[in-house]
């Protein structure tokens, strides 16, 4: 099964043109789909539709065949700016997301340890507040919080855009590792071409609210950051994406 849109149109009030124009996209279960596009091309709007945060003007979004009408824990969302509660400790931030799962207190404690370990954070981070952490650590906590809801689909809107280059590569490694081990479906928005190539099974290019191109990534996995450019197919897909994004600017 899959998460799917059919003929999706979103027209915001007062806007001259629809933000999304007849988007039909299928993201198969367990796959890693990347959306790229220039700023304003509709990436966030599309992701919000998949999450059930926006009701489309027309067309449908389905998840395993069921219409998506509202946000649900099975579709976890992560944003560029982490949305952790600054007044809560890391443990309480994660616990907040666990609350939906009806676990006993002891089980919740255990889950918090498991989740921190999964995202590569030491146990003592649990007692700290988000303001005491680096940007990369905060994004790790954000991912732990998304995972706490046991999503089968993770929807991520430029989650690493604010991080420095090295931290960003490390977070990509973490995400690929989680995706491989946990067998989740991921829809990931970025405007970084190399990030798209490293992560995606497929890369869909958005331009002016339409899918301008849908590319099946020819690179095999693993895709180590320091040898990405050496992999067969790299320069070709890079060139294609580069042109697509350049065109979007004109």
Ligand X SMILES: Nc1ncnc2c1ncn2[C@@H]1O[C@H](COP(=O)(O)OP(=O)(O)O)[C@@H](O)[C@H]1O
Cα torsion through 189, 192, 196, 202, rounded to 10: 60
Q: Burial of 160 by CB count in 10 Å (0-12 exposed, 13-18 middle, 19+ buried)?
A: buried
The distance of closest approach from Cβ of residue 209 to ligand X in the complex, given in angstroms and rounded to an integer, is 7
Indicate whether 44 belongs to the interface with Mg ion (CB under 5 A): yes
Q: Are 169 and 163 in contact (CB under 8 A)?
A: no
Query: What does the block give as tokens for 75?
Result: 């579709």
The distance of closest approach from Cβ of residue 243 to ligand X in the complex, given in angstroms and rounded to an integer, is 18
The distance of closest approach from Cβ of residue 63 to ligand X in the complex, given in angstroms and rounded to an integer, is 20
Indicate whether 204 belongs to the interface with ligand X (CB under 6 A): no
Q: What is the Cα–Cα distance from 74 to 91, expressed in whole angstroms?
A: 21
Q: By CB under 5 A, which span of 2-10, 37-45, 206-214, 239-247 interacts with Mg ion?
A: 37-45
Q: Which residues, 134 to 193, sit near Mg ion by CB under 5 A? A: none
CA angle 196, 177, 81 (to 5 degrees): 60
**CA atoms lying within 13 Å on the CB side of residue 48:** 12
Number of residue whose CB is nearest Mg ion = 44
Indicate whether 42 belongs to the interface with ligand X (CB under 6 A): yes
Indicate whether 111 belongs to the interface with Mg ion (CB under 5 A): no
CA angle 188, 74, 199 (to 5 degrees): 20
**Residues across the chain:** 250
Q: By CB under 5 A, which span of 39-47, 97-105, 179-187, 218-226 interacts with Mg ion?
A: 39-47
The DSSP output letter for 95 is H
Q: Which residues, 2 to 31, sit near ligand X by CB under 6 A? A: 12, 15, 19
Closest to ligand X by CB, 45 or 152? 45
Closest to ligand X by CB, 205 or 215? 205
Residue numbers of the site for Mg ion (CB under 5 A)? 43-44
Residue numbers of the site for ligand X (CB under 6 A)? 12, 15, 19, 37, 39-45
């Amino acid at each position: 099964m899959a998460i799917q849109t059919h003929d999706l149109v979103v027209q915001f009030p007062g806007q001259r043109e629809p933000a999304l124009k007849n988007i039909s996209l299928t993201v198969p279960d367990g796959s890693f789909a990347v959306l790229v596009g220039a700023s304003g091309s509709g990436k966030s709007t599309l992701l919000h539709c998949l999450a059930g945060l926006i009701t489309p003007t027309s067309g449908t979004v389905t998840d395993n065949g069921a219409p998506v009408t509202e946000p649900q824990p099975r579709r976890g969302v992560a944003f560029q700016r982490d949305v952790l509660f600054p007044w809560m400790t890391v443990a309480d931030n994660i616990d907040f997301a666990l609350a939906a799962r009806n676990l006993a207190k002891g089980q919740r404690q255990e889950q918090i340890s498991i989740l921190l370990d999964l995202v590569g954070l030491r146990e003592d981070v649990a007692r700290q507040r988000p303001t005491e952490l680096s940007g990369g650590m905060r994004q790790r906590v954000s991912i732990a919080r998304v995972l706490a809801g046991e999503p089968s689909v993770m929807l991520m809107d430029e989650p690493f855009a604010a991080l420095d280059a090295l931290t960003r590569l490390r977070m990509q490694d973490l995400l690929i590792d989680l995706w491989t081990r946990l067998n989740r479906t991921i829809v990931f928005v970025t405007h970084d071409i190399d990030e798209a190539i490293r992560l995606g099974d497929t890369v869909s290019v958005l331009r002016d609210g339409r899918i301008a191109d849908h590319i099946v990534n020819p690179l095999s996995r693993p895709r180590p950051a320091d040898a990405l450019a050496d992999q067969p197919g790299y320069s070709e897909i890079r060139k294609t994406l580069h042109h697509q994004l350049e065109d979007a600017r004109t």
